[in-house]
Chain A
């Protein structure tokens, strides 16, 4: 069984400030973790993925995430927020099995203030 908890349904930051979106997971098998971004009325765009290689993962648009097994966390960060980062962000966990389903968190809406 697997689950994802995203702490904070809404996060608001000022432009240029640090972005921190929290994700904690639960998985009975070694997890594969993903962050997706969704702009209004659009699909899911993969930001980055953890696939059991490096624990610090860099993604697109300056985002990165660190896998911490001891904390069962995979928080998403960006050093300096840009107005274009305003969107919905989803954390997802997939088991390391070939047909394994992805389980998504509830999502975090990021607002960037000028």
Chain B
């Protein structure tokens, strides 16, 4: 069964550095998402992406964040200048839309900012 994959599984970076989190969505999916989960808290929506543009973004997704689908298979989340509070688990998800609107989640990347 196809799965969403994410790399790396764990990323440690210093405050102020740029990070790129990578995701390979399921191949015939059209809708892509990033969510994050701060340790011990709930999963929060960051951004949705369709047809090579952002469909919706949350207030968390400020100018430090960007997303890209550079080559038709990968879907990336870039954080330009990481802060301590960016430490979280980041989940990528993809979906087909109709009829179930189900989103398939990847295993996550744990980002630790020191």
Contacts and interface: CB of A to CB of B under 8 A. Distances in A.
Do A and B bind?
yes
Interface of A: 32, 34, 36, 41-44, 46, 49, 51, 90, 92, 94-107
Categorize the interface residue count of chain B.
20 to 34
Given A99-B31, A99-B50, A101-B33, A51 B101 contact: yes
Main SS at interface, chain A? loop
B99 A51 contact: yes
B44 A104 contact: yes
B97 A99 contact: yes
The 7 closest A-B pairs by CB, nearest first: A98-B97, A99-B55, A43-B107, A104-B43, A101-B45, A51-B100, A44-B105
A43 B91 contact: yes
B59 to A, nearest CB: 13
Interface in B23-54: 30-31, 33, 35, 41-45, 48-50
